[in-house]
A and B are shown apart, each in its own frame.
Chain A
Amino acid sequence: MALPMPPGLTHAEVAFLAEMEMVTIVPRQRLESIDLLSGQTPPLRPPHRAQLPLWLALLLKKQRRANIVPPPWLHPASLSEIIHRETKENPQTFSPPPPPPAHANPHDPGHARRLADADADTILSPPFQPSCTASAPAGYLPYHWLEVAEALLAHAGDDMAAPAGEVRSLLRDLVEVRAAKMRSSTSVLGGAENGLMELTGVGAIELAESRGFVLGVVDGVRKIGASAEAARREDEEQGSGIHDDGGSDDDMGI
């Protein structure tokens, strides 16, 4: 069945997936452990903190049975530092994503090793990395930064480290700066034969927003170069030497 929607996730779908992220809460009432598909939630014994998925945390917050602890990267100081990094230090690329969790190695003091190396079952993709809990590193934007930040501001604004208005305006600035970077990231396709866009560190909502545009530009460039590409492949097939550099993507094997 042909759906009229363009390919990819919509903003609402991305936000829904982001609700799987774990966040730290401070419960106000006792709650027994609940059996969920992904495992059991920890039993809630106030005032001890616990980690729950975002959707459950928001539910408890609405029922006034818990307070959500904002992740360290959502602090105004952290956001300002990230904005500074995006504008002054790395104006071409996005700021790097948070490093994967690491453990100190008792046999090798001073060196940490990544959890993934030790334990093959550790999942390192975004909703399953603990990047929105209270133990996440500050100064790095995780993959679902915008969705989680907006959800926390909307439903748990009073739990923030600073007034929600201040955090919100910093977030808007960050959104603008990164949107401008996303727009200009396609300009690298205009020059060399094989341009690569540097998109490390991009967030989920930003991808959803610019997917149509970026794919359109890439497709357009492909169409413009299609005849030159066909001629080049013909030449290669006939075995005649060409002066064209080619690059590494000609291994389709004709």
Chain B
Amino acid sequence: MSYYDIDSILTDAEKIPCTFQLDVPDLGYLDNTPTQTLKTGSRVALPLWLAEMLAIASSSGGLDEQGKSFVTFDLPPALGNDVVQALKADPRAVPLRDQSAHFYGLATHMMDLSEEQELATVLRKTYVTRATEIALHARKVGGVGHHGKSSADEGSNLGVGGAGEEFLRGLDERERRLFRKAHDGAKAGKEWMENVKKH
């Protein structure tokens, strides 16, 4: 991910649970015990950029014999097992924004750090399924294309309105941008068709 990319920066600010592997004096305030050392094995939520640096950098300064890392981290709750199972069942019903506003970015970064084969396949399927749904809503939201038979759509605009808004509220950042592009395309098409007469 690039250094100056805003999404990258925001994604890296997400917190993930970490376990300290050694005692650190004076950092006790992280664990609600100020003025005491932070014991080995205490779990603290650290931002991703910090956790990554601490986990990958080994303490090669000579203090530890084997050079083990300062912290080990687990997957954040946004990528927990119940979320993955829900995504496997029906990707369109899971409001990703409630898990994390940068769901895909977070997942991609975690996959960079640790091998997650199942997560990769589930995520790819999720993204593509939700993308089709996004395109459908993009076309409907602008009021585009309700002339004539809508053989492929589920019904009138009004019927889909409630469920549609739920879905749109649950989109994460990447999906929102995709929605924007789809909607712009549909809107441009509609405008062009209405203006054909004027050329």
Interface residues of A (CB under 8 A from B): 6, 10-12, 15, 87, 150-151, 153-155, 169, 172-173, 175-177, 179-181, 183-184, 186-187, 189-191, 205, 208-213, 215-217, 220-221, 223-228, 231
Contact = CB atoms under 8 A, between A and B. Distances in A.
A177 B136 CA distance: 12
B132 interface: yes
Contacts of B150: 176
B185 A216 contact: no
Contacts of A209: 185-186, 188-189
A173 B178 contact: no
A157 to B, nearest CB: 10
Contact of B151 (A151, A154, A177, A223): A177
Contact of A183 (B123, B132, B174): B132
B152 A177 contact: yes
B181 A216 contact: yes
B127 A176 contact: no
Interface of B: 104, 107-108, 111-112, 115, 117, 120, 123-125, 127-129, 131-132, 135-136, 138-139, 145, 147-153, 174, 177-178, 181-182, 184-186, 188-189, 191-193, 196-197, 199
17 contacts: A6-B184, A153-B196, A173-B151, A176-B149, A176-B150, A180-B153, A184-B132, A187-B128, A190-B128, A209-B186, A210-B135, A212-B182, A213-B138, A213-B178, A217-B131, A220-B127, A224-B104
A112 B120 CA distance: 51
A56 B107 CA distance: 56
Contact of B128 (A169, A179, A208, A221): A221
A95 to B, nearest CB: 15
Contacts of A176: 145, 148-153
B120 to A, nearest CB: 5
A12 B189 CA distance: 9
B142 to A, nearest CB: 12
Contacts of B199: 15, 151, 154
Contact of B123 (A153, A154, A184, A224): A224
A169 B153 CA distance: 17
B146 to A, nearest CB: 9
A151 B108 CA distance: 47
A224 B120 contact: yes
Contacts of B117: 228
Given A212-B181, A213-B135, A223-B104, A228 B120 contact: yes
Tell me if B's interface is mostly helix, strand, loop or mixed.
Answer: helix
Contacts, number: 126
A172 B153 contact: no
Nearest to B186: A209
A68 to B, nearest CB: 15
Given A11-B192, A150-B196, A180-B153, A190 B181 contact: no
B90 to A, nearest CB: 14
B182 A179 contact: no
A186 B148 contact: no
B145 A6 contact: no
Given A150-B193, A213-B181, A221 B124 contact: yes
Given A179-B139, A212-B185, A215-B181, 18 more contacts: A11-B192, A12-B192, A176-B152, A177-B152, A184-B132, A187-B132, A190-B124, A209-B188, A210-B135, A210-B182, A213-B135, A220-B178, A221-B127, A224-B104, A224-B107, A224-B108, A228-B117, A231-B115
A225 B196 contact: no
Given A186-B132, A212-B184, A213-B178, A223 B192 contact: no
B148 A227 contact: no
A183 to B, nearest CB: 4
B178 A217 contact: yes
Nearest to B150: A176
B153 A189 contact: no
Contacts of A189: 124, 128
